[in-house]
Amino acid sequence: MSTPATMPVIERGTATSRIAAMAVAIIITLLAIAPQLLSAGAVDRMTALFIYVILAAMWNALAGFGGLVSVGQQVFFGLGAYFAIRLADAGLNPFLALFASGIVVGVVSIPLSLFMLRLRNGEFAIGMWVIAALTHLLVNLDRLVQGETGTSLISLNVYDAGTRRATIYWLALASMTALLAILFGLLRGSTGAAIRAIRDNEDAAASVGVRVTGTKRLLFVLAAFGIGIAGALWLATSITFQPKTYFNVQWTAYMIFMVLVGGIGTFEGAILGALAFFLIETWFGGTGVWYLVGLGATAVLFSLFLPRGLWGTIEERFGLRLLPVGYRVRLAAASADDDAMPSPQQTTMHQEKA
Amino acid sequence: MSNQIIQGILLGGYYALIACGLSFMFSVMRIINLAHGSLAVFAAYALWLLASRFHVSPFAGLLIVLPLMAAIGWALQRFLLERSARGGALLPILTTFGLAIVIDNLLFEQFGADTRSLAPYIGSLSYDSWEWPGNIYVGKLAVIMFATAVVLLGGLQLFLTRTRLGRSIRATSEDPDTAGLVGVDARRANAIAAAIAMVTVGLAGAFLGMRATFDPYAGAPQLLFAFEAAVIGGAGSLWGTLIGGIVLALAQTLGAQVHPQGFLIGGHAVFLVVLFVRLSASGLGVRGLLRLGRTS
């Protein structure tokens, strides 16, 4: 790389990203008033989409940024629903119980992290799966749940269907926005630099004084909390709780699919992946088994041929950043260029720094 | 009680069979194959198809299925794992997980949700037993299974230490680049190792089908059992896998005594306890619990 005489410019955003930030604000406002305009079915589907975005973003936080691929994240999804049932049964307002449940899941994940974060790569991945399987069996033992028969969030029935639907929609939208904002803040702040250093090379990061375990624990607990909320919200939309459905590994399969397709390790990628998954489910979900075969096959193909996912590839090719969490270095010589058409050199640079 | 202990030990043979392929592949290629269990179930279905459609006994069917599994292992390494391993340590987890979903659902599409078993095709072997002193009955199948595990583990050990090919596989697992310098073809060694691992998976699938029932989604629990047995057995030698399998099976047997649902809970619990002890004993940053180490 040539060294230009002039100082390079370090930027946190681009013109595109400033437009994107405004677009995000507009989209969220539109989504907030949407239930007035949409049909009941559409509101339910949108709620599902918000939950998918949470799942994708949280799994991406763990795998894409923390380098921790877990195949057992369904444990937090199931626990989120289970604790919501338990708290509501204890007399807590059901809507409050959804969030209290997320917090309980987050707290539970702290001692778990002490243990599991010592495992590496594949061992962590299956180790989490074992935890999920064991938790599923233990939840089945709870008399309230009645084994695989399951139970329901009965106390939600005091609200009429319309209020319930709209409230859950807004709760899901608010949770999604808040969790994405937390993640975004985390990645842009000083922790973000540590997270990206760990993602790129854990040993090197540790050698320059990055608190590897602490940072990973933060991501692990955040992911547990977020996925717990997602599980509780899913319970609120479907009312019934059958352990088999919630502790099913398919939830992790969906998360992996969304993140792999969208772009692992990119903030926008997880959202794009959730959107893609939502559309695929809407169009092909009815085809049953072939739909699942297709999901698996797509995941395999992406991991082999497009491991950076759709967004990662777009970003690489066009140097586009909508919601920048990193820094980009613009060499003074190239600064005259249009933002939308960065030189290859620039692209490489920002990729390194991102 | 001693009866249950003996049954438990013999069941450990099955877990050792299914675990040895997983830890073998991990120690050579540093890849945990998440499709491991699904491939075992695939082999069981292949044997079931041969038996039910073409009246081939499952034992004769192995002559067809094991070479098929070897070919699958070779292709798996060449076309999927080799490429995906280049993208780092995390990518193969995702690739093999996706593969497991594809296999499970294709099996479901092809064979439906019914549970199957190979037991009807092996005659009286599925229920025959020997009476041992002390009024203990041991199933012939369970003994055959255990003996197969011992022979297989011993054979693998001999293969790795005594043959040229085995030594080149070990060299590759130690350091692929240096092995390359002294003329070992790492790609070939890895592909052969994957083929061998899949042959053990095929055997495990056969015994899964003979001793119990299976359905298209039975792969996930098999993967967990394999992983647990391998981790409990720990680093050291292939024989550790046998011990791991026995410990896992005994814990499950004990769990089943305590509570009707305790079979699986007991297994998972002992796995976590062993994991906890090993992690606290070795301090932070254990690298490769599954690694067989310098396979002596």
Burial code (b: 16+ CB inside 10 Å, e: under 16) for A226-259 equals bbbbbbbbbbbbbeebbbebbbbbebbbbbbbbb
Residue B105 has its nearest CB partner, among A127, A133, A293, at: A293
CB contact under 8 A, B271 and A130: yes
| Backbone torsions φ then ψ of A217, nearest 5 degrees | -65, -40
Rounded Cα distance, B79 and B31, in Å = 14
Lowest mean pLDDT among A20-24, B32-36, B128-132, B238-242: B128-132
Asked if B16 and B250 count as a contact pair (C-beta separation under 8 A), the reply is no
Asked if A84 and A97 count as a contact pair (C-beta separation under 8 A), the reply is yes
Element (DSSP H or E) covering residue B94: helix B91-111
Lowest mean pLDDT among A328-337, B127-136, B203-212: A328-337
Q: Is the pLDDT of residue B196 over 50?
A: yes
Within 8 A of B281 by CB-CB distance, chain A residues are none
Asked if B230 and B22 count as a contact pair (C-beta separation under 8 A), the reply is yes
**Strands A240-241 vs A151-152: parallel, antiparallel or unpaired:** antiparallel
Nearest to B29 by CA among B242, B140, B179: B179
- Considering the domain boundaries, does residue A37 fall inside one? yes
| Backbone torsions φ then ψ of A10, nearest 5 degrees | -105, 125
Q: What is the pLDDT of residue B13?
A: 93
Q: Is the pLDDT of residue B277 over 90?
A: no
Lowest mean pLDDT among A197-201, A258-262, B3-7, B149-153: A197-201
Query: How many other β-carbons are positioned within 10 Å of the β-carbon of residue A91?
Result: 8
Residue matched to tokens 């720990």 = B234
How much is the average pLDDT of B72-85?
A: 92
Q: Is the pLDDT of residue B235 over 60?
A: no
Residue A69 has its nearest CB partner, among B94, B109, B227, at: B94
Rounded Cα distance, A79 and A81, in Å = 5
What is chain B's mean pLDDT, rounded?
87
Lowest mean pLDDT among A59-63, A133-137, A186-190, B216-220: A186-190
How much is the average pLDDT of B177-186?
A: 82
pLDDT category of residue A228 using cuts at 50, 70 and 90:
very high
How much is the average pLDDT of A307-327?
A: 78
Q: Is the pLDDT of residue A43 over 80?
A: yes
pLDDT category of residue A45 using cuts at 50, 70 and 90:
very high
Rounded Cα distance, A232 and A227, in Å = 9
Residue matched to tokens 């919601």 = A323
pLDDT category of residue B75 using cuts at 50, 70 and 90:
very high
Nearest to B36 by CA among B81, B79, B67: B81
CB contact under 8 A, A126 and B87: no
- Of these ranges, A340-349, B151-160, B178-187, the one predicted with the greatest mean pLDDT is B151-160
ipTM of this complex = 0.88
Rounded Cα distance, B116 and B211, in Å = 11
Query: How many other β-carbons are positioned within 10 Å of the β-carbon of residue B263?
Result: 18
Rounded Cα distance, A257 and A71, in Å = 12
CB contact under 8 A, B102 and A300: yes
End-to-end alpha carbon distance in chain A: 18
pLDDT tens track for B250-275:
999 999 988 888 899 999 999 999 88
How much is the average pLDDT of A164-191?
A: 91
How many residues belong to chain A? 354
Query: Tokens in use for A253?
Result: 């399969």
Nearest to B190 by CA among B57, B50, B26: B26
Q: Is the pLDDT of residue A146 over 90?
A: no
Using CA atoms of B182, B159, B28, A299 in order, give the dihedral in degrees to the nearest 10. 120
Q: Is the pLDDT of residue A171 over 90?
A: yes
Rounded Cα distance, B103 and B44, in Å = 13
Residue matched to tokens 């599923």 = A136
What residue type is B291 in one-letter code? R
B281 in contact with chain A, both atoms CB, cutoff 8 A = no
Rounded Cα distance, B102 and B90, in Å = 19
| Residue B123, Ramachandran bin (φ over 0: left; ψ between -120 and 50: alpha; else beta) | left
Rounded Cα distance, A233 and A239, in Å = 10
**Strands B136-139 vs B129-132: parallel, antiparallel or unpaired:** antiparallel
CA angle A310, A311, A313 (to 5 degrees): 70
Using CA atoms of A206, A211, A217, A223 in order, give the dihedral in degrees to the nearest 10. -80
Domain count, chain A: 1
B31 in contact with chain A, both atoms CB, cutoff 8 A = yes
CB contact under 8 A, A304 and B95: yes
Share of chain B above pLDDT 90, in %: 54
CB contact under 8 A, B98 and A121: no
Give the residue, A354 or A114, on which the prediction is more confident: A114
Rounded Cα distance, B162 and B24, in Å = 17
Lowest mean pLDDT among A56-60, A83-87, B199-203, B292-296: B292-296
- Considering the domain boundaries, does residue A52 fall inside one? yes
Within 8 A of B286 by CB-CB distance, chain A residues are 118-120
Asked if B224 and A133 count as a contact pair (C-beta separation under 8 A), the reply is yes
Residue matched to tokens 């012939």 = B140
What residue type is A307 in one-letter code? P
Give the residue, B196 or B286, on which the prediction is more confident: B196
Interface A–B counts its CB contacts (< 8 A) at 129
Rg (CA), chain A: 21
Within 8 A of B279 by CB-CB distance, chain A residues are 115, 118
- Considering the domain boundaries, does residue A223 fall inside one? yes
Asked if A46 and A33 count as a contact pair (C-beta separation under 8 A), the reply is no
Give the residue, B121 or A349, on which the prediction is more confident: B121
pTM for the whole thing?
Answer: 0.87
- Considering the domain boundaries, does residue A2 fall inside one? no
Residue range(s) defining the domain that contains residue A336: 9-353
- A130-149 residues touching B, CB cutoff 8 A: 130-131, 133-134, 137-138, 140-141
Q: Is the pLDDT of residue A36 over 80?
A: yes
A304 in contact with chain B, both atoms CB, cutoff 8 A = yes
Residue from A120, A121, A136, A203 to probe the interface with B (highest B Cβ count within 10 Å): A121
CB contact under 8 A, A303 and B100: no
Nearest to B16 by CA among B126, B157, B172, B121: B157
Rounded Cα distance, B81 and B68, in Å = 18
Within 8 A of A298 by CB-CB distance, chain B residues are 98
Q: What is the pLDDT of residue A256?
A: 93
Nearest to A65 by CA among A253, A205, A168: A205
Rounded Cα distance, A26 and A20, in Å = 10
- Considering the domain boundaries, does residue A85 fall inside one? yes
B269 in contact with chain A, both atoms CB, cutoff 8 A = yes
- Considering the domain boundaries, does residue A4 fall inside one? no
How much is the average pLDDT of B146-158?
A: 91
- What's the CATH number where A170 sits? 1.10.3470
Q: Please, what are the domains in chain B?
A: 2-117+144-282 (1.10.3470)
pLDDT tens track for A245-301:
999 999 999 999 999 999 988 888 999 999 999 999 988 888 888 999 999 999 999
Residue matched to tokens 């994240």 = A73
Nearest to A47 by CA among A177, A226, A233: A233
Element (DSSP H or E) covering residue A151: strand A151-152
Q: How far is CA A254 from the centre of its chain?
A: 11
**Strands B213-214 vs B136-139: parallel, antiparallel or unpaired:** unpaired
Residue matched to tokens 């269907």 = A161
Q: What is the pLDDT of residue A340?
A: 42
Nearest to B267 by CA among A159, A133, A317: A133
